[in-house]
A = this chain, B = another copy of it.
Amino acid sequence: MIHNAVILSTGDELTTGKVVDTNSAVIADQLFSLGVKVAAVLKVGDDPNRLLWAFARASELGDLIIGSGGLGPTADDLTTEMVAQFIGRQLIKDEQVAGSLKTRFEARGIPWTVNNLKQALFPEGATIIPNPVGTAPGFQVTVAGDKPLFWLSGVPQEMKAMLEGTVIPWIAAQRGTDSSEIYARTFKIYGLTESKLDALVKPIALPADGRLSFRAHFPDLTLRLAVNGGRERERAFIACCERIRGILGGHIYAEGDVTMEERVGQLLLQRRQTLALAESCTGGLISRRITRIAGSSAYYYGGAVTYANEAKINFLGVTPATLEKHGAVSEPTALEMSQGIRERTGAGIGLSVTGVAGPSGGSPEKPVGTVWMSIALEGRHEARQFHFHGDRERIIQGASQAALNWLRTILET
């Protein structure tokens, strides 16, 4: 039975501090939802002896080992080789993986080198873990007699796809609970800090075997409820979801694994609305977030990034008098920007953002973090002032999230 897991993260970039390891937190979070405890997280560099040390320590501590990193084609990608050595197996080429790698490279016109073949080598007897979003597949072997070791790509989005596609379902099945027997719900939160959220949900009585977990990745905040234990728990799970909704109310912008821009996209489609943007301090980030979603051309017309004042005048028809009298970061300018982009594009909704992202450009009346936004649509034209805190990046991110959230609340009414 699987009670304890050990997470391994490997790579010189971790032991030299060049990269912050987010993979182990993502894995720990998912294991927590399944009721598996993480006994330890071990990180070592790309060094044969350290890797062997880590495999040995992990096998003595965990019932299960999940590792990531070092599956690439370069000389410092040693993981597969060292796992094979650790379990006393040879490396064997998987012809199917080799073939698909070759096809993939040919399709891109990238010359096929001997290095790339490395990614088709696996310890004898390993089960291959498909990588749905990248080149290098992972693998599963058994260590220390009977302990499963899963090894995944170190690239965060590849790791996540392999974890959710293969590892989590495998563990759920082993624990005698297929994933349908775990009741889980994700609540996406807007407008609360992590500690405020924690304080709000702490009084909630959880069902037996129920767990609440948080994940904060600014500006996104996620709350997850997971309840193990089969159909008899379903009713308690549903009641607990209701309590969460009752307490968090309008702070929940979506349920399920959707981003704010996906939620806004769904609503624009449902309402058959179109959107155009006039961004100043957010510099194109809102546009970028909208357009990273496939199919966004159905509701997104485009927009203007009017960084300079002349751009606000030329592209949006903001009047020089308004800029002169009230400044670029002001209610009248925000109103003229949203109206201007709506009129010039013919989009149903015009959204504007203008503010002081810093670090310079602030003043006593308009300190760094002051942002005006405006929304113009049929029969409605309003502006709002916001204040964001932190460094330039945090202000830009916070403003983009607030703008999308405001648009969401308007579309939902």
- A residues within 8 Å of B by Cβ? 12-22, 24-32, 37-46, 50, 53-54, 57, 61, 72-76, 107-111, 113, 115-116, 133, 155, 193-199, 202, 211, 213-217, 224, 276-277, 279, 282-288, 290-292, 294-297, 300-308, 310-311, 314-315, 344-346, 358-360, 387, 389, 391-393, 396
Contacts and interface: CB of A to CB of B under 8 A. Distances in A.
A28 B40 contact: no
A333 B308 CA distance: 25
29 contacts: A15-B39, A15-B40, A16-B29, A18-B213, A19-B215, A19-B216, A19-B217, A21-B25, A24-B43, A39-B44, A39-B50, A40-B43, A41-B41, A42-B43, A53-B61, A72-B195, A113-B195, A133-B391, A283-B287, A284-B291, A284-B305, A288-B288, A292-B392, A294-B359, A300-B307, A301-B308, A302-B305, A302-B311, A302-B315
Max chain B Cβ within 10 angstroms of own Cβ: one of A16, A216, A308, A360: A16
Contact of A310 (B32, B301, B389): B301
A191 B68 CA distance: 26
A28 B15 contact: yes
A198 B12 CA distance: 15
Contacts of A202: 75
A387 to B, nearest CB: 8
A314 B194 contact: no
A215 to B, nearest CB: 5
A194 B42 CA distance: 25
